Structure 1
Amino acid sequence: MFSVLKLVAVCLLSASLVQARTAGTTTTTWDCCLPACGYTSNLSAGARGPVKGCNKTNGPAAPDAQNACFTSGGQAFSCSSYQPIIISNTLSYGFAGHGNTASATCCKCYQFTWTSGTAQGKSMIVQAINAGGITDTDFDIYTPGGGVGDFNACTAQYGAPAGGWGRQYGGVTSDSQCSELPSNLQAGCHWRWQWAGGDVNTWQITYRQVNCPSQLTSISGCTPASI
Structure 2
Amino acid sequence: MFTSRALFLGILAALSAATCLHAQTSGTTTTTWDCCEPACGYASNLSSGAKGPVKSCNKSNGPAASGAQNACFASSGNLAFSCDKYQPIIVNNTLSYGFAGHGNTATSTCCKCYQFTWTSGAAAGKSMIVQAINAGGITDTDFDIYTPGGGVGDYNACTAQYGAPSGGWGRQYGGVTSDSQCSELPSNLQAGCHWRWQWAGGDVNEWQITYKQVNCPSQLTSISGCTPASI
TM-score, reference length from structure 2: 0.91
**Mapped contact 1:133–1:140 kept (Cα < 8 A):** no
- Relative to structure 1, the CA distance from residue 65 to residue 223 in structure 2 (aligned partners, 3 Å threshold; closer, same or farther) is same
Q: What letter matches 1:182 in structure 2?
A: P
2:106 alignment partner in structure 1: 102
Partner secondary structure for residue 49 of structure 2: coil
2:156 alignment partner in structure 1: 152
Partner secondary structure for residue 70 of structure 1: coil
Q: What letter matches 1:71 in structure 2?
A: A
Q: CA deviation at 1:132?
A: 2.9
2:51 alignment partner in structure 1: 48
- After TM superposition, the structure 1 = structure 2 runs for residues 135-150 of structure 1, keeping only pairs within 5 Å, are 135-150=139-154
Structure 1 spans left out of the alignment, 5+ residues: 1-8
Q: CA deviation at 1:163?
A: 0.3
CA RMSD of aligned residues (A): 1.9
Q: Return structure 1 stretches of 4+ with deviation > 4 angstroms.
A: 9-19
Match of 2:39 among 25, 30, 36: 36
Q: CA deviation at 1:208?
A: 0.3
Larger Rg: 2
- Relative to structure 1, the CA distance from residue 87 to residue 155 in structure 2 (aligned partners, 3 Å threshold; closer, same or farther) is same
1:63 alignment partner in structure 2: 66
Q: Write the distance in 1 (CA, Å) between the matches of 2:41 and 2:178.
A: 31
Q: Deviations over 1:12-65 (max 9, x none)?
A: 988766544300000000000000000000000000000000000000001211
Q: CA deviation at 1:72?
A: 1.7
1:206 alignment partner in structure 2: 210
Q: CA deviation at 1:158?
A: 0.3
Q: CA deviation at 1:135?
A: 2.6
**Mapped contact 1:97–1:133 kept (Cα < 8 A):** no
Q: Write the distance in 2 (CA, Å) between the matches of 1:210 and 1:221.
A: 17
- After TM superposition, the structure 1 = structure 2 runs for residues 61-210 of structure 1, keeping only pairs within 5 Å, are 61-73=64-76, 74-210=78-214
**Mapped contact 2:37–2:71 kept (Cα < 8 A):** yes
**Mapped contact 2:118–2:125 kept (Cα < 8 A):** yes
Q: Deviations over 1:151-198 (max 9, x none)?
A: 000000000000000000000000000000000000000000000000
Matched, 1:22 2:25: yes
Aligned pair count? 221
Q: What letter matches 1:216 in structure 2?
A: L
**Mapped contact 2:32–2:153 kept (Cα < 8 A):** yes
Q: CA deviation at 1:71?
A: 1.1
TM-score, reference length from structure 1: 0.92
**Mapped contact 2:103–2:137 kept (Cα < 8 A):** yes
Identity of matched residues, %: 84
2:3 alignment partner in structure 1: none
Q: Write the distance in 1 (CA, Å) between the matches of 2:81 and 2:159.
A: 11
Q: Write the distance in 2 (CA, Å) between the matches of 1:83 and 1:10.
A: 43
